[in-house]
Amino acid sequence: MAAQEPAIAIEANRVSKVFGSGQNEVRALDDVSVKIRQNEFFTLLGPSGCGKTTLLRMVAGFEAPTAGTILLDGEDITATPPNHRPINTVFQSYALFPHLTVAQNVAFGLEMLGKPRKEISDTVARMLAMVRMEQLANRTTAQISGGQQQRVALARALAPRPKVLLLDEPLSALDLKLRKEMQIELKRLQTETGITFIFVTHDQEEALTMSDRIAVMSAGRILQIGSPEDIYNRPSGRFVASFIGESNFFEGTVQGVKGDTAEIRMPSGHVIKARLGKGKPEGSVTFAVRPEHIRLEQFGIEGTIPAKVTRTVYFGTDTHCHLELDGGERLVARLQNTVGGNAAYDTGMRAGVRFDDGAAQVLID
């Protein structure tokens, strides 16, 4: 029996958005299609200007597409005003009312919907408990911290039980420790409520930590959609490989292809095996290897690639070892630190480089 397809909450169908005209024309989105599932934490990830916020604003109804349609539960909502969509947004600035208490802020949207007083009171209590803010219910939002304000903004957005919650870089104003804590909290809230979350960020760690799936965007297009593991371990091309985490890039010539593996000769003359993505490569290709998938061994061991250590950088949990291969290629190996450190590979030393099995992947852009 075939597995049932997951229900789709939001669908963007061949959406484009053009600002300006003539020489001033800017194509913010270029024929973008994506299906976001119900009860999914879905992240739009990319650098500034890639179109992720524009797409989010279209789902919210704040921007109208130049072409294409937006569907909610299969219904076309492209022309539906924002206040008639069962969709709420948490903005980067939180947009709370500083003269109102925490509880009053959470109640505001419910009051605008004309909900009964008892239902409002019960919902506010439940939401504040969910975001762990019960003790601060009677404080004004001007009297609480930035992290607490974010929790209030989340509670207010979740209170009316929207079908979809949009989050536009809500963690960017927080310090590093609080940002990490809130990453866990956001995923917890999404799991507990069962609401579809669409999260916009340029921070790869946020995307990898919280998401069920990620769409990597660049120049108004979606380059790849997949789980965090897929995006990180099987990037579709050089941009995705470089934007998500760190990668070493190498050039080589395909010597042969067998199944989903290619044998590639490097400028040094060494032949390595690399996983294939889409297509069957020929001639010159680029392949990538993550720094944590590179091993250093004693110089001269058979099967290793000769290299020289040019610099080491200590990061606490690991050490980044910068190397230059005899063929001229430069790379970085990430070595997990032990109690005694990694002093065995000091600057100027010779070492043998080995790639983990399956670590190299051919990139087809």
Query: What is the pLDDT at residue 346?
Result: 82
Mean pLDDT of the region 14-30:
91
Handedness of CA 293, 297, 301, 306 (dihedral sign): positive
Mean pLDDT of the region 88-92:
87
Main-chain dihedrals φ then ψ at residue 259, nearest 5 degrees? 65, -125
Q: Are 182 and 174 in contact (CB under 8 A)?
A: yes
User: Model confidence over 260-306: pLDDT tens digits?
Assistant: 889 999 988 889 999 987 667 778 889 999 999 999 998 888 889 99
Mean pLDDT of the region 146-154:
87
Q: Find the helix or strand (DSSP H, E) in which 103 lies.
A: helix 102-112
CA distances from 104 to 97, 112, 129, 154 (A): 9, 12, 15, 14
**pTM greater than 0.75:** yes
For the chain, what percent of residues have pLDDT higher than 70? 97
E-strand ranges in the chain read 8-19, 26-37, 41-45, 67-72, 75-76, 87-90, 164-168, 196-201, 213-218, 221-226, 248-258, 261-265, 271-275, 284-289, 294-297, 305-314, 318-325, 330-336, 350-355, 361-363
Among the ranges given (86-95, 278-287, 329-338), the one the predictor scored with the smallest mean pLDDT: 278-287
User: Model confidence over 317-330: pLDDT tens digits?
Assistant: 888 999 999 888 99
Per the model's pLDDT, the better-predicted residue between 226 and 260 turns out to be 226
Residue 145 CA, chain-centre distance (Å), reads 26
Which tokens in the block code for residue 225? Answer: 């959609």
| 254 contact partners, CB below 8 Å, separation of at least 6 | 262, 263, 264, 281, 282, 283, 284, 285
